[in-house]
Amino acid sequence: MRDHEFLYVQKRNDRTKAGIEKTVYGQLPDGQTADLYTLHNAAGMTASITNYGGIIVSLTTPDRNGKFEDVTLGMDSLAGYVKGTPYFGALIGRYGNRIAKGKFTLDGKTYTLVTNNFGNHLHGGTKGFDKVLWTATPVEGDEPALKLTYTSKDGEEGYPGNLSVQVTYTLQKDNALKIDYQATTDKPTVVNLTNHTYFNLAGGAKRDILDHVVTLYADKFIPIDQTLIPTGKLQPVAGTPFDFTKPTVVGTRINDSTDTQIKYGGGYDHGWVLNGTGDSLKLAATVYEPTSGRVMEVRTDQPAVQFYTGNFLDGSVTGREGFPYKKRYALCLETEHYPDSPNQPNFPTTVLKPGETYKTTTVYQFSSKKE
């Protein structure tokens, strides 16, 4: 292992080559050690990921002048993440987003999950996949990758079945971070994995994201009630503040208090139903930040994307360099199945059975343009 680590450090000295650097990130309260892996490609982009929660600690991407800056919200240390963040950069599971009242019925049996969000179950419970230590295997190459594995025990947070999960982060040559998710189970269960990175393409997250220009390739969205649980019906975006089918400045209608859905979400905190069907990767969202020129394209094979505009950030979490992250200082694009699918017979199923393999891919690609 020592030789391995040495190799990583050697490679990192040559910035023109792709590689992986591994360092000890810190000690968890239970004494286990978490590591930090920095993947870098030949174009200069880096992705730092810890095996604690599979958290993306930083992602540096170039602006229109070639300046690399971090485009995520994050903490200065492992201790910061352990103390608690609203899922900055983290892998989310076993079920990303909400399950109403933390209950669902499968094959005639009702399961009770941990409730952690206004009486509902959110992002896998109080100790979801974002708070566990994953086993990491770095994979060297032109497109360096980090393979993370975790076995979620039968009954964990209330879910049935031992679930073997594998998530691979690959930093591609073309400045894209690909995330491949895979899972198998030994009992029927529900699965909906995602990543919860908070993006601010201006770099450094020093101001809000209201100037970001967003396109969502979705003609319908998923209306919610006051507790952010879907009503069960889909609604066309046309004629509503939820219409991002053309490039739209985020701040334009985010405070439209005449719109009930904006009111319930405190801004945008909804699932958009992605156009197109099938298992192939499709463009879900494009984000452009005009001052830096940075562009992010999100591709996925998932049926929906949760577009969350950091409405619950309130400055109480102090991030990198002691900087407080305030309301709407970031946006999330969480590719996933519809929220509360286990209780919504009309939504595509999230049930995974023994013998089946859950397999999905999402790619976040970064570039820049002049104006």
Strand partners, 183: 165, 358
Q: Does 308 bind ligand BGC (CB under 6 A)?
A: yes
Tell me the window of 20-28, 170-178, 179-187, 305-313 that interacts with ligand BGC (CB under 6 A): 305-313
Name which of residues 214 to 233 contact ligand BGC (CB under 6 A).
Answer: 228
CB atoms closer than 10 angstroms to residue 273 = 20
| Minimum distance, C-beta of residue 313 to ligand BGC, in the bound complex (Å) | 9
Q: Does 130 bind ligand BGC (CB under 6 A)?
A: no
Name which of residues 89 to 128 contact ligand BGC (CB under 6 A).
Answer: 97
| Minimum distance, C-beta of residue 308 to ligand BGC, in the bound complex (Å) | 4
Buried/exposed code over 221-233 (b: 16+ C-beta within 10 A; e: otherwise): bbbbeeebbbeee
Distance of alpha carbon 188 from the chain centroid: 25
Name which of residues 326 to 345 contact ligand BGC (CB under 6 A).
Answer: 334
List 86, 89, 161, 223, residue binding ligand BGC (CB under 6 A): 86
Q: Does 87 bind ligand BGC (CB under 6 A)?
A: yes
Tell me the window of 71-79, 127-135, 136-144, 304-312 that interacts with ligand BGC (CB under 6 A): 304-312
* Residues known to be catalytic: 196, 334
Residues 6+ apart with CB under 8 A from 111: 103, 104, 105, 158, 159, 160
Residue 34 and residue 78 in contact, taking contact as beta carbons nearer than 8 Å:
yes
Residue 228 and residue 98 in contact, taking contact as beta carbons nearer than 8 Å:
yes
| Minimum distance, C-beta of residue 97 to ligand BGC, in the bound complex (Å) | 6
- Is the Cβ of residue 234 or residue 332 nearer to ligand BGC in the bound state? 332
- Burial class of residue 346 (count of CB atoms within 10 Å of its CB; 0-12, 13-18, 19+): exposed
- Is the Cβ of residue 8 or residue 347 nearer to ligand BGC in the bound state? 347
Eight-class DSSP state of 4? H
CA distances to 78, 151, 250, 362 from 83, rounded to whole Å, are 9, 23, 31, 28
| Minimum distance, C-beta of residue 318 to ligand BGC, in the bound complex (Å) | 17
Residue span 309-328 as binding mask against ligand BGC, x where in contact by CB under 6 A, dash where not: ---x----------------
Q: Assign 7 to helix, strand or coil.
A: helix
Residue 97 and residue 271 in contact, taking contact as beta carbons nearer than 8 Å:
yes
